[in-house]
Structure 1
Amino acid sequence: MRASRLLSLLMLLQAHGRMTAAQLAERLEVSTRTVYRDVESLHAAGIPLYGEAGHTGGYQLVDGWRTRLTGLTAQEAERLFLAGLPGPAAELGYGAAVATLQLKLHAALPPELADRAARVQERFHLDTPNWYADGDASPHLAEVAEAVWRQRRIAVRYRSWAGEVDPVLAPYGLVLKGGRWYTVAGRPGRDGPATYRVNQILSLTTLDEEFTRPAGFDLPSWWREHVVRFRAHLHRDDATIRLSPRGRERLREVASELVATSVDRTAGLPDGAGWVTAVIPIESLTHAHGDLLRLGADVEVLTPATLRERMATTAADLAALYAPRPSGHGGGGQAPA
């Protein structure tokens, strides 16, 4: 552990130049006293490292000196594919390994390539959750990840759409989709794997029972096919709508890409006020009703009649709720005491 920390300290100085003891302590998650001891150990080992006192001081390697001790540990090599996703890596419990891996990769590059890599890191950032959510708070995510890696069955208490159930799962893999974590897992008595949202696992026990992954199972391929099946299942009916220019502009904020693409494909020419008529796929009347209400008066449902009636009823209820009230009446319709 200490040898790894000493190497990380060298990598930090090599990547960033001068750093104070406080900065090194923060990055290494140790005390400044530990940093002082580590620097003394590096001095004793003959590393050309020097420090300068004062407000602008800090530790620095002699110009031109570079270490080539950049060998990856087994754990770092296993986490290599997460190097560009520090947020998800931390959620999985791999944050420290990925941070050290990035330092080693940076140190192994020639100066000109290291500079280009640093510029990429400064200019591009991957933020996987959408605008209106921070992703899942999944307290059992690290346990599921460990079970995936070790191929161990897990007994879970799971909140499904039909209520709470207690399955035993063989987790084949983890997928991050739209800021939400899912495990693709087999289950006794079920034909083929299914998806389980990790956020809905209420309790988890890792069993001392190893499972065998299905021969030829490929997680990315399976997930792509699952998404296709899921989207096909969502499209159960069509609705014909009219959209104002502002409604069409806001559509991508409130509806799926499939709906927005359908409008682009089926919309006719704008009328005199700029409104267009288009056909959109809908999952159900309830989902379409909720989504289209978010566009307010910038959308009109033409068909199906049942959806139009629901929209009209909601609009009438809202008009009654916000109608001017007699003076002295509160917002809830009750006269003050």
Structure 2
Amino acid sequence: MRASRLLTILMILQTRGRTSADRLAEELEVSVRTVYRDIDQLSAAGVPVYAETGRNGGFALLDGWKTRLNGLTAPEARALFFSGLPGPAGELGLGNEAAQAELKLLAALPADWQAEARRMSSRFHFDPRGWFQPGYKPEFLKLVAEAVWSETRIAIRYESWTDTRDRVIEPLGLVLKGGIWYVVAQREGNIRTYRLSQIQALGPTGETFTRPKDFDLPSHWVEATRQFERDIYVGTARVRASERGRRKLRDLSDTVRQAIEALTVTPDADGWAEFDVPIEEIGWASHELTRIGGDVEVLGPPELRARVVQNVQTMAQLYRVNGT
């Protein structure tokens, strides 16, 4: 904590200039006495900080002096090592660059932070892929990434759920979600999302485009995913589920999980309970609910229950025919 506080004082003095002890104490949420002790510690470490007395006095750094680590606090430095994703960087063709950047950052850190930074990178690892996924790397990932950087239009042949069409898109950003790469792009004035693995062919157009000044990729993605979930849940099903069935239902999606967690469920003596859950269109909902098995019974709507019954009967018939 103290090392972090010392660097924070250093950054405040470097970016704002002369600052009073009272102001430092307020921002750091410590006593003025602690601030004076920290200033003494900085001076002992060779930082040219001095005090000016008087009504407008305070602490300041010697003119022209700056730390090598501009604006970076100790927690922020640790976070940079904590958040490294060598897998995605490698897929983008930036594996070597990411490694070199980490080495340069490490060299810029004060000596007593380097060991801590190494511990962070050696003890935590992020794997963004789901279980049992083959680690598929989209064929055109690097080309799309280059088009994002250079703001260049690309022509793609894209296979959607309904057909395959040729399109010209203006790529605005790449997103890795659940181990799957997506490109967010502008086409005909609208912003759309394309799954990279469904791009069948890609070619450069040689044409550049102007990126919308107010476009923010993280904000857009958050809202787009929320809107997507709102749009696909078009109905409600009445179900009866065991405790294990309720856990399986929560795993279907965040929307279903939130709906179940908002309920006051009163199980019967056997642990089963009736409640409503949001569902997608009947065909997909019947597939998902059949997959859960005997821990969930669909009570309604009638067409959904009939579809689940049909799925179960088809499976039972298949096993009877095969004699197993």
Is 2:270 aligned against 1:273? yes
The CA deviation at 1:332 is: 6.3
Question: Aligned partners of 2:190, 2:237: CA distance in 1, in Å?
Answer: 34
Change (3 A) 1:198 1:122: same
Residue 101 of structure 1 corresponds to: 101
Question: Aligned partners of 2:316, 2:83: CA distance in 1, in Å?
Answer: 53
Contact residue 82 and residue 98 of structure 1 kept, 8 A: no
SS in structure 1 of the partner of residue 294 of structure 2: helix
The CA deviation at 1:267 is: 4.8
Change (3 A) 1:173 1:82: farther
SS in structure 1 of the partner of residue 221 of structure 2: helix
SS in structure 1 of the partner of residue 89 of structure 2: helix
Q: Which amino acid aligns with 1:228?
A: R
Question: Aligned partners of 2:292, 2:303: CA distance in 1, in Å?
Answer: 18
Is 2:227 aligned against 1:237? no
Is 2:311 aligned against 1:314? yes
Residue 215 of structure 2 corresponds to: 217
Q: Which amino acid aligns with 2:148?
A: V
Change (3 A) 1:82 1:266: closer
Percent identity between the aligned chains? Answer: 45
Q: Which amino acid aligns with 1:161?
A: W
Is 2:255 aligned against 1:248? no
Write out per-residue CA displacement over residues 266-307 of structure 1, whole angstroms, 9 at most, x where no aligned residue.
252010100121211111111111111121110000111111
Residue 226 of structure 1 corresponds to: 224
Contact residue 135 and residue 178 of structure 1 kept, 8 A: no
For normalisation by structure 1, the TM-score amounts to 0.68
Change (3 A) 1:316 1:164: closer
Is 2:219 aligned against 1:183? no
Written as runs of structure 1 = structure 2, the 5 A alignment for 1:40-59 is none
The CA deviation at 1:258 is: 1.4
SS in structure 2 of the partner of residue 125 of structure 1: coil
The CA deviation at 1:264 is: 2.2
Contact residue 242 and residue 299 of structure 1 kept, 8 A: yes
2:199 paired residue among 198, 201, 205: 201
- Matched residue pairs, number? 248
Contact residue 152 and residue 211 of structure 1 kept, 8 A: yes
Q: Which amino acid aligns with 2:288?
A: D
SS in structure 2 of the partner of residue 274 of structure 1: coil
Change (3 A) 1:204 1:319: closer
Question: Aligned partners of 1:216, 1:249: CA distance in 2, in Å?
Answer: 41
Residue 158 of structure 2 corresponds to: 158
SS in structure 2 of the partner of residue 98 of structure 1: helix
Gaps of 5+ in 1: 1-68, 71-79, 326-330
Residue 259 of structure 1 corresponds to: 256
Residue 36 of structure 1 corresponds to: none
Question: Aligned partners of 1:233, 1:177: CA distance in 2, in Å?
Answer: 19
The CA deviation at 1:132 is: 4.1
What is the Cα-based RMSD across aligned positions, in Å? 2.5
Change (3 A) 1:279 1:303: same
Written as runs of structure 1 = structure 2, the 5 A alignment for 1:278-289 is 278-289=275-286
Write out per-residue CA displacement over residues 151-206 of structure 1, whole angstroms, 9 at most, x where no aligned residue.
1111111112231111111111111122111111112xx23211111111111111
Contact residue 173 and residue 217 of structure 2 kept, 8 A: yes
Q: Which amino acid aligns with 1:259?
A: V
Change (3 A) 1:135 1:235: farther
SS in structure 2 of the partner of residue 266 of structure 1: coil
Contact residue 252 and residue 260 of structure 1 kept, 8 A: yes
Q: Which amino acid aligns with 2:319?
A: Y
Contact residue 91 and residue 137 of structure 2 kept, 8 A: no
Contact residue 83 and residue 98 of structure 1 kept, 8 A: no
Contact residue 242 and residue 278 of structure 1 kept, 8 A: yes
Contact residue 267 and residue 279 of structure 1 kept, 8 A: no
Is 2:124 aligned against 1:127? no
Write out per-residue CA displacement over residues 290-335 of structure 1, whole angstroms, 9 at most, x where no aligned residue.
1111211100001111111111222233333334x8xxxxx369xx
Change (3 A) 1:321 1:162: closer
Change (3 A) 1:204 1:124: same
Q: Which amino acid aligns with 1:177?
A: K
Q: Which amino acid aligns with 2:262?
A: R
Change (3 A) 1:214 1:85: same
For normalisation by structure 2, the TM-score amounts to 0.71
Q: Which amino acid aligns with 1:128?
A: P
Q: Which amino acid aligns with 1:295?
A: I
Residue 40 of structure 2 corresponds to: none
Point out the more displaced range, 295-304 or 312-321.
312-321
SS in structure 2 of the partner of residue 269 of structure 1: coil
Q: Which amino acid aligns with 1:322?
A: Y
Contact residue 268 and residue 276 of structure 1 kept, 8 A: yes
Written as runs of structure 1 = structure 2, the 5 A alignment for 1:75-114 is 84-114=84-114
The CA deviation at 1:135 is: 5.1
